């Protein structure tokens, strides 16, 4: 059975973000800080440590949810916080829906 929605209480949902500078993928292998910041529907934010999908040269960061992460239904936002030797950056903000359960 394929699941196409994210639900309250889901564990193991992988959030994957590709970091780009314009149209070019950014090599983030040297990042000293890699976070995905989540903003819940109640406007509270929580920063989660992200990991590289491979070695960071492909620009892909990911975070896998654990128990208690997806605790509210509604519209959530996420943004990457990245620290490299050349500076600190935040990605564009992306939104996603977390659906209630029966």
Closest CA to 65 of 98, 19, 88: 98
Report whether 41 contacts 26 (CB < 8 A).
Answer: no
Quote the pLDDT of residue 65.
Answer: 97
Q: Give the contacts of 13 (CB within 8 A, at least 6 positions apart).
A: 6, 64, 65, 70
Q: Evaluate whether residue 37 is within a structural domain.
A: yes
Q: Evaluate whether residue 1 is within a structural domain.
A: no
Quote the pLDDT of residue 84.
Answer: 93
Quote the pLDDT of residue 4.
Answer: 85
Quote the pLDDT of residue 22.
Answer: 87
Domains identified in the chain, total number = 1
**CA-CA distance, 71 to 77, in Å (whole number)?**
14
> pLDDT over 70 for what percent of the chain?
97
> pLDDT over 90 for what percent of the chain?
90
Quote the pLDDT of residue 2.
Answer: 57
pLDDT tens digit string along 47-60? 999 999 999 999 99
pLDDT tens digit string along 19-58? 998 899 989 999 999 999 999 999 999 999 999 999 999 9
The domain that holds 46 is classified in CATH as 2.60.40.1220
Report whether 54 contacts 6 (CB < 8 A).
Answer: no
Identify the domain containing residue 35 by its residue range: 6-99
Query: Could you say which DSSP state residue 13 is in?
Result: P
């Amino acid at each position: 059975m394929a699941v196409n929605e994210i639900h309250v209480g889901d564990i193991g949902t992988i959030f994957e973000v590709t970091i780009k500078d314009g149209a070019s993928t950014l090599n983030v292998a040297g990042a000293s800080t890699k976070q995905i910041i989540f903003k819940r529907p109640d406007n509270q934010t929580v920063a989660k440590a992200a990991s590289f999908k491979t070695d960071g040269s492909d620009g892909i960061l990911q975070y896998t949810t654990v128990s208690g992460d997806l605790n509210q239904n509604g519209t959530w936002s996420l943004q990457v916080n990245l620290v490299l030797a050349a500076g600190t950056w935040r990605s564009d903000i992306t939104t996603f829906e977390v659906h209630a359960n029966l």
